[in-house]
Amino acid sequence: HLQLQESGPGLVKPSETLSLTCTVSRGSISSTGFFWGWIRQPPGKGLEWIGSIHYTGSTYYNPSLKSRVTISVDTSKNQFSLQLSSVTAADTAVYYCARLNIPPGNYYFDYWGQGTLVTASS
């Protein structure tokens, strides 16, 4: 079964940039028919989609975060990454990476990483 694993600092200072990487194993990030995405969940709250990327580099972003988000892909390492700039306490959340299955008009996340807690605090 496909596996995804998030990695990166668990603590980020306010105004700095949050950087996370998702490593995909037991499968190829270059498989057709999929995007790869980031989702976050503030403590005690619901899920929020951040954005998604195809192995070709095509991206979709949440309009509410678009000005601060960059998602990139490294097919040679089977990884994709998230950068979120100018973080505040409101960006404290568990960050998940996941595979987005994309039959036409029918997009759903079928594999998820275990999640990583990132706290924005000085």
Partner 1 sequence: SYELTQPPSVSVSPRQTASITCSGDKLGDKFACWYQQKPGQSPVLVIYQDNKRPSGIPERFSGSNSGNTATLTISGTQTMDEADYYCQAWDSSTVVFGGGTKLTVL
Among residues 90, 89, 109, which one has the least CA distance to residue 22?
A: 109
**Choice from 37, 54, 82, 87 touching partner 1 (CB under 8 A):** 37
**Choice from 11, 25, 75, 108 touching partner 1 (CB under 8 A):** 108
Task: Please give the Cα distance from 62 to 43 (Å, whole number).
Answer: 20
Q: How many residues bind partner 1 (CB under 8 A)?
A: 25
Q: For residue 55, what are its two tokens?
A: 């192995």
Residues, the chain:
122
Interface with partner 1 (CB under 8 A)? 37, 39, 46-49, 52, 60, 62-64, 96, 100-101, 103, 105-110, 112-115
